[in-house]
Chains A and B, each alone.
Chain A
């Protein structure tokens, strides 16, 4: 192996590694921790409400183990680098403009969506009232009721003891001149119903009211739902892809490396598992969850859905890993490592994995695309994300059911096509970049 000093290392390489290590460790250990935490919580945490132990256990397990995993991942990845071949491939990816730009656009959109409430949200960014500064859009900031800002009653003459509607407050400030406020660009959150006098919903796009893509049947802003739908879909798809790869790679490597009975039995087990109909399992489990004697918070229900999808999707990864490990393990460097006394785990993770992973990387974008379509389809069928989580499937469903309001279906459709196209461009570029036959082109 070449020594690291011989290659000039760009900064992004280190950052990429830290990212990979951190996120990978977080998801892997977080997943395991969540599962164990759930079991422990169910048994040991005594709580006032039934089921709360389970939920707490999962949450704590996930947070603690995930953090530990992220730290471990970062430590592990510090100072690591790609081997020169991979570096060449990455540089080639950079040179494929279409894929590279798609990557940047999608990455930027995703990054923006992660700080969503600053762009799309009902909470003001800055409020100055009575000489005090409030930053309600930030997490953990104090949530002030209408009365805190001197509004005794809301527009329906209800006592203003709940969190103030900042749009209403802004109008109040403009009337009285007592205070200053800066709202996000789209001043709506994805769940609130914007009912106004004389407007029937779905209402068409309206710049004055800042409903840039109109509203849906219950007066929710379509753009806000689209935006947060994008965030949840992307998060879902990425975590899904990571989990599927982690499980698939480990199982595939083990089968390939040990071969023989392990491989034979493992393969049969995978085949059996694969033949369990996925959609029915989702339907059954969704029904079972609704029959539980206690309520699960929305994030927990989403995690259940994610786990089911992962459980029934990791199998296909094992085939690719298994075959490439079969091929690689016959090579001399593996024999050399074995002679030097390296154990199986060292050989698998340090020697085989770096040499086989490139095939898998090329699949990644397509897995993400698959996850996006699956979750949208499930949503459309009412088995997806719990209501009223903003989701594209739900928007499509509403849009199809309300063709007289084309802005709903068009928004969802265009967004979906754009994202899937970008992902496909990235995927093609990666495939080209990682292709051992350098001269293949995809046009």
Chain B
């Protein structure tokens, strides 16, 4: 009996532990930073390295021999021989990598600068204005949280696209060229200058010779070669990347000298420069092995980054926190568009699994900011009268941005035997009462999403709207599908007694209210939804393995000129079978196909016509045609009914401590999250002063509730 009581105490104890906090603020400084990190290797890996070196020497000799014989050779052409003396161009690659380059000579070219086309118009974004503030101060630790510890530090592969990736890649790494977040231009990153050659679908880049990885190694021109080798490998277990970086998409990379490259895209898309700048250098020296074991071997290895923040081994506390520290003497520190940004010395991201605790930690000053997007936070938990706000310790901000909207929507798994029936899907569209969710749960602050692609300007569909809640229409559609009887519990049934019941899952604990309201409202239309609240990572696993029935999830979308349709709606990403086996002679989807895991086609939409349209869309170079196709696709997907649009939010709202400072106007137009562009900074003296004021009950200043609507659309 004691043991039983003890067990219940254990449970309560766990609760207490959860309710305690992340109070470990100490932070490990980078050790031996700045030098190439080959010192701490075990003897075994030294041996491997030796073997590898020998193999490389051998491979080089072999390549040289082949070159002499003038056979298949990408690395030199006859007249260039002998000019490739600079070390950046020596292909120090592993034999299998060299083989890969050699077997695709037309895709990987090394030539000399004299082959650069003349009359290139070099650009450098010099006429654009910087968007960070020169008043920014360096120092301090920016305190953030994550709801779950990342399952991996890899940047791709299984679980690689979790939310932590934005800290180490999306909002951190420097691209060749970046889109300016305030206007249409581009600003230089790893490339100092670039020249777009539309007629050849090619962009030329002059690389910045100062660019370095966080481990101190320089960024080499050959790392761009390696990117394609890496991205095309089956071992990374990332079909999306395999396709995105396929030979068809990126037919050629040419190295002219150690600081000049060109990248060719398969089509002269309107945003050709962005497509070519999507190739990022991958540190070849870091990835020693790329084989079946890669996914496991690099599970918690941090790939050296070109960005300002790195993850050092000693700053990873499994299950607790990850601290990113600023790379000492970061190469882009003084560059235009990068100076005055990335100001905190470190970013500490602590795991807080309990949503209620996150807010408490914020009010204690242990987290620097808290999202106030949900109305309960903006109105109830941090009202304008809240002492922290009224006494000027914490600031409330609302910022209208102008970007494509994250797709908060229900995804119906159309490979499910019942959901494969279109009438059921359309019925469900009419059974989901998002109107009441928006009005009651979100207090009317949000708008209903219209279609699969909102916020792309003319590329979004001008007319399509989400289907409205209607008991009548929903029941009509369900009746068409044979659900004509009403059971004892008010749920529709077939005459054989099959109930209209679905699992209804999500990984967002904070959206439990949305789920329960939708469930109760759907009962009116005779549908039973069985709510499953999952941990965020297991929810994402479930949906990307296509084990869901109805799932509420949002995919973050990049700020782009036109929406992407291939990844979420092409049958390539729905089923494993090759394309010709997916459809029968009439073009109908066959039954018994195997859903494909680790892709983003959560609706499992597979339709021959849609496939054809998407393929046309992908190769189109004409913006007018792209717009037309985009409208057609949006209509088709709307008709298919497996995507039930949820809501959009044309702004974000934040509560932040007043020691978090920001430039005038708060943020850039195309920011999706408040700290994405790292233009904020922390005033450490102010922090001390404010915390003292809180402790002693004094005011820190006048209350500040700021609404920045300079980018608001009507």
Contacts and interface: CB of A to CB of B under 8 A. Distances in A.
Interface of A: 48-49, 140, 143, 154, 156, 158-163, 191-193, 195, 200-201, 217-220, 274, 278-279, 287, 290-291, 293, 295, 297-298, 313, 315-317, 320, 363, 366-367, 370, 373-374, 377-378, 380-382, 386-388, 397, 400-402, 404-405
B15 A380 contact: yes
Instruction: With a 10 A CB-CB cut-off, give which of B14, B505, B509, B524 has the most chain A CB atoms.
Output: B524
B558 interface: no
B8 A377 contact: yes
Top 6 nearest A-B pairs by Cβ distance? A401-B356, A377-B11, A159-B472, A316-B3, A387-B531, A158-B471
A58 B76 CA distance: 72
A387 B4 CA distance: 26
Interface string B368-400: 000000001001110000000000000000000
Contacts of B417: 49
Contacts of A193: 440, 516-517, 520
A12 B538 CA distance: 53
Contacts, number: 135
Contact of B488 (A143, A220, A320, A397): A143
Given A291-B547, A386-B531, A381 B8 contact: no
Nearest to A217: B513
B8 A374 contact: yes
A358 to B, nearest CB: 14
A373 B8 contact: yes
A431 to B, nearest CB: 11
Contact of B376 (A217, A278, A400): A217
Contacts of A377: 8, 11-12, 14-15
B356 A195 contact: no
19 contacts: A143-B486, A162-B490, A162-B524, A191-B520, A193-B516, A217-B513, A218-B513, A218-B517, A279-B11, A279-B14, A287-B538, A291-B547, A366-B1, A377-B11, A380-B15, A382-B533, A387-B512, A402-B380, A402-B381
B594 interface: no
Given A370-B5, A404-B380, A388 B469 contact: no
Contacts of A400: 356
Instruction: With a 10 A CB-CB cut-off, give which of A156, A388, A397 has the most chain B CB atoms.
Output: A388
Given A373-B11, A374-B11, A400-B356, A191 B516 contact: yes
Contacts of B475: 159, 161
B712 interface: no
A378 B7 CA distance: 12
A313 B18 CA distance: 24
Interface of B: 1-5, 7-8, 10-12, 14-15, 18, 355-356, 376, 379-381, 417, 436, 439-441, 443, 469-472, 475, 486, 488, 490, 496, 498, 501-503, 505, 509, 512-513, 515-517, 519-520, 523-526, 530-534, 538, 542, 547, 549
A140 B488 contact: yes
Nearest to B541: A291
A200 B443 contact: yes
A218 B510 CA distance: 12
Nearest to B2: A316
Given A156-B436, A386-B532, 9 more contacts: A158-B469, A162-B523, A195-B440, A274-B3, A373-B8, A377-B8, A387-B515, A388-B531, A400-B356
Nearest to A293: B547
Contact of A162 (B471, B503, B516, B533): B471
Contacts of A156: 436
A363 B440 CA distance: 48
Given A298-B530, A366-B5, A290 B471 contact: no
A373 to B, nearest CB: 5
Contacts of B532: 290, 386-387
B498 A48 contact: yes
Nearest to B538: A287
Contacts of B516: 191, 193, 218, 220, 387-388
